[in-house]
Structure 1
Amino acid sequence: MSTPPSLRETACKECGIIVHLPLHLSGSQYRCPRCNALIYRRGQKFSHIIVMAFTSLMLFVPLTFLPILDLNIMGLEAQSTLFQALWMVYRDGYYGIAFIAMMTGVLIPPIMMLLLLAMLVPLHFGYRPKKVRLWYRLYEKMYDWGMAEVYLISIVVSMVKLHGMGSLHIGLGFYMFIFFFITFYITTVWFNPDDIWYDDDALDH
C-alpha cells in the first residue's frame, strides 16, 4: 500500500517498525508506537540557531591570537596562544596528539558553525541551497569529531601542571574559549538536522 502524499515514511532506529509521520510536523516530538523511542524532536527556531552559531564564530576569531596562559618563572614571562600551545605539543614530538587536538578542538568546530550558517541562513529567508544535502552530510560526518571540550580539558590540565612552576595567570583567550565552547555546544543541541527536510516547517523558522 502506497504512503499517502500527506505522510512521510520512516523507520524507528530502535525497533525498526515503519512509522508514518506527517510531512508538516506540528508537534514538538513524535515517539514510536511500539517501543516509545524518540523518532523526532523539533529543534529550536532557525533564527535562534543562526544567532548562536554566528556568536560562536565571532568568539572564535579573537581567541586564536589572545593569550590563553601567562606564565612567569623567576622574572621570565611567557605567553601561550591557542596555536602556540599546539605548536609546542608538535615540537615536543607528540605529532598524533597535536593533529587530533588541532582537528577536534580548533578546526572542526568553526567549520561546523560555517556549515550551519550556509544551510540555515538561506532556509530562513525562504531559499533552499542546491548544495544543502552536501553540507548536511559534511556536518553529520564532523559532528562526532567536533570535541572542543577535549582541548578545553587539556588547557585545564596544563594549568594544573604549570601552577607549581611559577606565577600562572589565566589569559583572556581562556575565557573566550569557554564562551566559544558554551555557544558551540548550545548551537549543536538546538539544531535538529531533520528540520531541514520538512520544507514548510523549515521556511517557517
Structure 2
Amino acid sequence: MSEPADPHQLADLPLNDLVACHECDLLMRKPVLKQDEKAHCPRCGYELYAHRHNVVQRSLALVLAALLLYVPANFLPIMQLHLLGQSSDDTVWSGVVGLYNTGMRGVAVVVFLCSMAIPLLKLLCQLAVLLSIRLNIGRSYGLLLYRIYHHLRDWGMLEVYFMGVLVAMVKLVDLAELSLGLGLACFISLLLVQVWLEVVMSPHQIWSALSGEDLHACD
C-alpha cells in the first residue's frame, strides 16, 4: 500500500515520483513494486496500479486470439430463427444491414461503430502498441496509439450488444423456435478475451515502457 506524501515535500519531488488516486485524488509518493505486487490507495483502497509479469507476451497472445475471433464472432450466425416454416440466420453484420435497410440508418451506424468498427480499431491499436514495445521501434507512435486506444475504450460496447442479444432471445423464445449458432460462442469468447486483456495489459507498465521511464517495466 502506498503512503501519502507530506504536502511540504511534494514541491521537491519530480512528477515521475508522484501518483494520484483516480477515485479520491489523494496525492502520494509512487511506491516501487516487485513482480506481481499491487499498489492501493491508503485512503480509499482503490488499486492504483500493479506490476504484472510478462505483460507484453501475454497481452500479445490475447490480442491475436481476439483478432482471430473477431471475424467469426461478427459474421457467423449468432442464432437461427425458425418461424412458420421459414428459417433465418442472424449475425452481427446482418443486424447492421437489417437496421440500415429498414430506414434506421442512424441506429445502424451507431451499432456498426460500437459493435464492430471501434472494437476492431481498439484491438489494432493494442497490437501496434505491444509490437512497438516488443520490437523497440516507433515508441512515439505507440504513445499516440495508446492515447487513441484510451479515448476509444468507452465506445466499444460489445457487452451492451451482448445484453441486447440475450433480451431478444428471451422475447423470441415463446414466438418461434430458436437455435444458438457458432457465432454466439465466438462472440462470448471475444468478449471474455477482451476483458482478460484489460486485466493483463497493465496501463502503468505500458505507459512506463512507451515513455522510456522503465524499459523493463513489462518484463
TM-score (norm 1): 0.83
Distance 1:12 1:96, change over 3 A: same
- Alignment partners' CA distance in 1, 2:117 and 2:27: 38
Distance 1:38 1:174, change over 3 A: closer
Matched, 1:138 2:142: no
Distance 1:117 1:153, change over 3 A: same
- Alignment partners' CA distance in 1, 2:176 and 2:26: 62
- Alignment partners' CA distance in 2, 1:203 and 1:124: 12
Residue 171 of structure 1: which of 169, 178, 181 is its match? 181
Q: How far 1:172 sits from its partner (Å)? A: 1.1
Please name the residue that 1:157 is paired with: 167
For structure 1, the 5+ residue unaligned runs are: none
Residue 92 of structure 1: which of 88, 91, 102 is its match? 102
Q: How far 1:203 sits from its partner (Å)? A: 5.5
TM-score (norm 2): 0.79
Residue 26 of structure 1: which of 27, 34, 37 is its match? 34
Q: Which has the higher contact order (CA 8 A, sep 6+)?
A: 1
- Which amino acid in the other structure matches residue 74 of structure 1? L
Distance 1:173 1:17, change over 3 A: closer
For structure 2, the 5+ residue unaligned runs are: 1-10
Farther-moved stretch of structure 1 (147-156 vs 92-101)? 92-101
Please name the residue that 2:22 is paired with: 13
Please name the residue that 2:50 is paired with: 41
Aligned Cα root-mean-square deviation (Å): 2.6
Alignment of structure 1 residues 50-199 onto 2, 5 Å: 50-127=60-137, 129-199=139-209
Aligned partners of 1:50 and 1:117 also within 8 Å: yes
